[in-house]
Amino acid sequence: MATISAAAVKTEMTKLEDELVNIVGKFPTYMRPPYFSSNNVSLSVLGQLGYHVINADIDTNDWKHNTNTTFPEAAKEFGQGLAAGGSIVLMHDVHKNTVENIVPRIIDAVLESGKKAVTVGECLGDPEVNWYRSSRS
């Protein structure tokens, strides 16, 4: 988002909102910029649109470990991030190995650590009323 204009940020986000509203019936309030790429212009537009811009502090690199032989590396990277105090995970649900193989291992690791998986909003201590919007900002 750091490389596109304010108008392009708004266009991209409103198109995404339209699709998400069609699927879940609500407008999101949390957003992670692609590649964590943002600047003052994009952050300003996202704020005007009602978004909380978030980052992740655990990167599984699931996109890189997306084979039947390498996916355990993604689970290992999650475990290392969790042990280091991380709490928000970056993963990609478009990868079959992430959904079928990595997520179950991550759930086990979270349970074994005595922690629990929660929404981003809950992780950040944001009241549930702020997790979605009923209309476009």
Q: What is the pLDDT of residues 9-22, one digit of tens each?
A: 999 999 999 999 99
What pTM does this model have? Answer: 0.85
Answer yes or no: do 32 and 67 share one domain: no
Nearest 5°: the CA angle 55, 22, 134 is: 70
Instruction: Calculate what percentage of the chain has a pLDDT beyond 90.
Output: 92
Domain that includes residue 34, residue range: 6-55
Check whether residue 102 and residue 72 sit in a common domain.
yes
Please, what is the Cα angle at 41 between 132 and 134, to 5 degrees?
A: 15
Structure tokens at 106: 């991550």
Q: Which two tokens stand for residue 52?
A: 């909380």
Supply φ then ψ for residue 4, to 5 degrees.
-120, 160
Task: Looking at the structure, tell me whether residues 44 and 70 fall in a common domain.
Answer: no
Domain co-membership, 104 together with 79: yes
Q: How confident is the model at residue 95 (pLDDT cuts 50, 70, 90)?
A: confident
- Is 30 among the domain residues? yes
| Tokens 């537009």 found at | 45
Asked whether residue 34 falls in the same domain as residue 62, the answer is: no
Confidence of residue 93 (pLDDT cuts 50, 70, 90): confident
d(CA 13, CA 117) in angstroms, rounded, equals 27
Angle between helices 6-24 and 40-48 (to 10 degrees): 40
